[in-house]
Chains A and B, each alone.
Chain A
Amino acid sequence: MKLNIFEHRMNIGQDGRFFNLPDTLFPSLGRAAAIAELLEVACESGSINSFDPDSLQRASQAIRLEIRDAESLIDAYLEETRSSAQVETLAAMVQIGEEDDYKLAELAEANAEGQFVINVTNWANYSLDACGNRYRYTDKATQEILLQFVADSDDEAEEICMDFLRRRGMQAKKKKPD
Chain B
Amino acid sequence: MQHKTNTATLKPDFKHRLSVLGDEPSPRCVADAVNNAANQASSLIIMIQGQFMGPECSDCKLSDEIIYNCLESVYHLVLDMKAIVNAYHNAVQEDSK
Which residues of A come within 8 Å of B, CB atoms? 1-6, 8-10, 12, 16-18, 27, 30-31, 33-35, 37-39, 41-42, 44-46, 52, 54-59, 61-62, 65-66, 68-69, 72-73, 75-76, 79-80, 83-84, 87-88, 91, 115-119, 125, 139, 141-142, 144, 146
Q: Return the chain B residue nearest A70 by Cβ.
A: B12
Q: Count of chain B residues with Cβ under 8 Å from any Cβ of A?
A: 54
Known pairs A3-B13, A5-B87, A35-B73 / 7 extra A-B pairs, C-beta < 8 Å: A9-B12, A30-B69, A34-B65, A45-B50, A65-B16, A83-B8, A118-B2
Contact status B5-A91, CB under 8 Å: yes
**Inter-chain contact B62/A4, CB cutoff 8 Å:** no
Taking CB atoms, residues of chain B closer than 8 Å to A80 are 6, 8, 10
| A37 and B66 form a contact (CB under 8 A) | yes
User: A117 to B10, Cβ gap below 8 A?
Assistant: no
Instruction: Check if A17 sits within 8 Å of B84, measured CB to CB.
Output: no
Give the shortest distance, in Å, between B75 (CB) and chain A (any CB).
9
Interchain CA distance A58-B66 in the complex, whole Å: 18
- Asked whether, in the complex, the Cβ of B39 is within 8 Å of the Cβ of A58, the reply is yes
- Give Cα distance in the complex from A139 to B13, angstroms: 36
Overall SS of chain A's interface: helix
User: Which of A1, A46, A83, A91 has its CB near the most chain B CB atoms (within 10 A)?
Assistant: A1
Contact partners of B40 in chain A: CB under 8 A: 58-59, 61-62, 65
SS of B interface (majority) = helix
Which one of A10, A31, A61, A65 lies within 8 Å of B69 (CB-CB)? Answer: A31
Q: B66, A34: Cβ atoms under 8 Å?
A: yes
CA distance A72 to B14 in the complex (A): 7
Q: In chain B, what residue has the closest Cβ to A117? A: B7
Q: Does B3 contact A (CB under 8 A)?
A: yes
Nearest chain A residue, comparing its CB with the CB of B39:
A58
Interface residues in B6-51 by Cβ distance below 8 A to A read: 6-18, 23-25, 36, 39-40, 42-44, 46-48, 50-51
Output the nearest chain A residue to B84 by Cβ-Cβ distance. Answer: A5
Q: Is B7 a contact partner of A116 (Cβ separation < 8 A)?
A: yes
Supposing A4-B11, A17-B6, A55-B43 touch, asked if A139 and B70 sit within 8 A by C-beta, the answer is no
A146 to B4: give the CA distance in the assembly, Å.
12
Chain A residues positioned under 8 Å from B84 (CB to CB): 1, 5
Q: Are A17 and B77 in contact (CB under 8 A)?
A: no
Task: Name the one of A2, A16, A33 contacting B10, with C-beta atoms under 8 angstroms.
Answer: A16
Chain A residues with Cβ below 8 Å from B54 are 45-46
Least Cβ–Cβ distance between A54 and chain B, in angstroms: 7
